[in-house]
Structure 1
Amino acid sequence: MDLNGVSAVVSGGASGLGEATARELAANGVKVVVADLNEDKGKALADELGGVFVKTDVSDPAQVETAVQAAVDTGAPLRIIVNSAGIGWAERTVNRDGSPHSLETYTKVIQVNLIGTFNLMRIGAAAIAKTEPADADGLRGVVINTASIAALEGQTGQLAYSASKGGIVGMTLPAARDLAAIGVRVNTVCPGIIDTPIYGEGEAAEAFKAKLYAPVPFPKRMGKPSEFAHLVRSLIENDYMNGETVRFDGGIRFQPK
């Protein structure tokens, strides 16, 4: 699919993987709606890219509707939805002190990561369905969801996170089959250890990151957000990629902990 002249909604677009994706798309002619809770970073990025910022809690249908409508209102046909908003959490099913995993936090992670992804996918796809086909195949748009290799190889304490990301992987193929009728492709990316601002800066942070990427076969480093964004762009542009879950991890395989 040709990126130039279309619009996109990128959730979690103010930082990390979402920011890198927003930059990659904008650099290739896409009008980007940065959908994020961080107003300062989101507005600054949208202004820099010539896009639009919408404060968005992805688990809130009304806020997602507003973000999607903002893309429609740009006048460029909405053809791209990128779900990269998410939160993490570490807690054992039964903690060391004998207490059970918090149901509140488990529910929150599922609500944001899984239900939030579905929320933007369903509302975004419904808006994409109203556009004219972009090519002779009847393609109208593409949805890219972000899961994690934790969905496939969850470690100790990743119960809620792995369940949320596993749900995203699980709905990829059914969603692709459902949305085929309206000409929308769906693919999911499962990143591994990616160098985002969440790890901080300084010697201690670098030492911690070195431990994280030690099991990566090659290249012996963390992945770059720009590399993730390049993959997202490739999945959008390659018209025969549909219903797939793609690992993006340098070949790492998670150990139990």
Structure 2
Amino acid sequence: MKLGSDITAVITGGASGLGEATARRLASRGVKVALFDLNTERGEALAKELGGVFCSVDVSSSPSVDAGFAKARAAIGQERILVNCAGVGSGKSKTASRDRETGEIREYPLDNFEQIVQINLIGTFRCITKSAAGMLTLDPLEDGDRGVIVNTASVAAEDGQIGQVGYSASKAGVVGMTLNIARDLSRDGIRVNTILPGLFETPLFARASQEAVAKLSASVPFPSRLGYPDEFAQLAETMITCGYFNGEDVRLDGAIRMAPR
């Protein structure tokens, strides 16, 4: 797919972090962008800067997502690109555990598990199916593409750490459905790929101490640093523009393999 002013994109989680970097990169190529996010102040400012549109969207709510797509399409037209970056992390909690001092047995809080899966996995699929339905109304471009979808998983999908089961399960689900969806949409010229980022400079790490960031950076084989959000955006752009890139799950992690803890 050739990028330009005739192409529109929706980026969920587009107001910050990986989503913001992707929106900036696509906008720099002339693409009209719509940002789906819950951070209204940040999202509206960035959309204004990029000449795009901001839509306050909760990806765990179908009415909210429907309203977001309706607003975006009315403003900039039917999207040919969807990049799913919206998601949440989680505090660490074991499947079941015993308090070493009191002997109390604790179970994993299922409401936390459900919330993470609802946002990271179901929210991603909710946006995919609604966007793909819109893409099906478009004529194919010269290269045959009707649209391209890029999802965000995590290396935790493959290297889940102790206490990370909810997050890992949600991201593994995104990986697990990528090929299925690519096959579902293949006859209609819609490609689907997923990025598994490692440790990246995002708002989450901005709150961490310098000591913690240095320790995490040293755990990355090469380059021994956190990933730059634009490096994620660069891979997303490649997945969008390379017509033979389809049905793939790609780690972007500096060769890190997460330790158990």
- TM-score range for the pair, normalised by the shorter chain length: over 0.9
**Contact 2:32–2:76 (Cα < 8 Å) also in 1:** no
Cα deviation, residue 96, structure 1: 4.3
Q: Which runs of 5+ in 1 are unaligned?
A: none
**1:243 matched to 2:250:** no
- The 1-side partners of 2:78 and 2:113 are apart by 37
Q: What TM-score does the superposition give when structure 1 sets the normalisation length?
A: 0.96
**Contact 1:36–1:54 (Cα < 8 Å) also in 2:** yes
Cα deviation, residue 86, structure 1: 0.4
Which residue, out of 106, 112, 116, partners 2:113? Answer: 106
**1:135 matched to 2:142:** yes
**1:211 matched to 2:218:** no
Q: Which runs of 5+ in 2 are unaligned?
A: 100-104
**1:93 matched to 2:99:** no
**1:190 matched to 2:191:** no
Identity between Structure 1 and Structure 2 (%): 50
**Contact 1:10–1:81 (Cα < 8 Å) also in 2:** yes
Cα deviation, residue 182, structure 1: 1.6
Cα deviation, residue 71, structure 1: 3.1
Cα deviation, residue 207, structure 1: 1.2
Cα deviation, residue 249, structure 1: 0.1
> Could you say which residue in structure 2 is the equivalent of 1:154?
160
- The 1-side partners of 2:11 and 2:76 are apart by 17
Cα deviation, residue 95, structure 1: 3.6
- The 2-side partners of 1:192 and 1:199 are apart by 12
Q: Give the paired residue count.
A: 254
**Contact 2:80–2:135 (Cα < 8 Å) also in 1:** yes
Q: What TM-score does the superposition give when structure 2 sets the normalisation length?
A: 0.94
Which residue, out of 206, 210, 223, partners 2:227? Answer: 223
Q: Give the secondary structure class of the aligned counterpart of 2:95.
A: coil
**1:80 matched to 2:81:** yes
Cα deviation, residue 75, structure 1: 4.4
- The 1-side partners of 2:47 and 2:88 are apart by 22
> Could you say which residue in structure 1 is the equivalent of 2:173?
167
**Contact 1:68–1:127 (Cα < 8 Å) also in 2:** no
**Contact 1:78–1:131 (Cα < 8 Å) also in 2:** no
Q: Give the secondary structure class of the aligned counterpart of 1:82.
A: strand
The residue type paired with residue 228 of structure 1 is F
Q: Give the secondary structure class of the aligned counterpart of 2:83.
A: strand
Provide runs of 4+ in structure 1 moved above 6 Å. Answer: none
> Could you say which residue in structure 2 is the equivalent of 1:17?
18
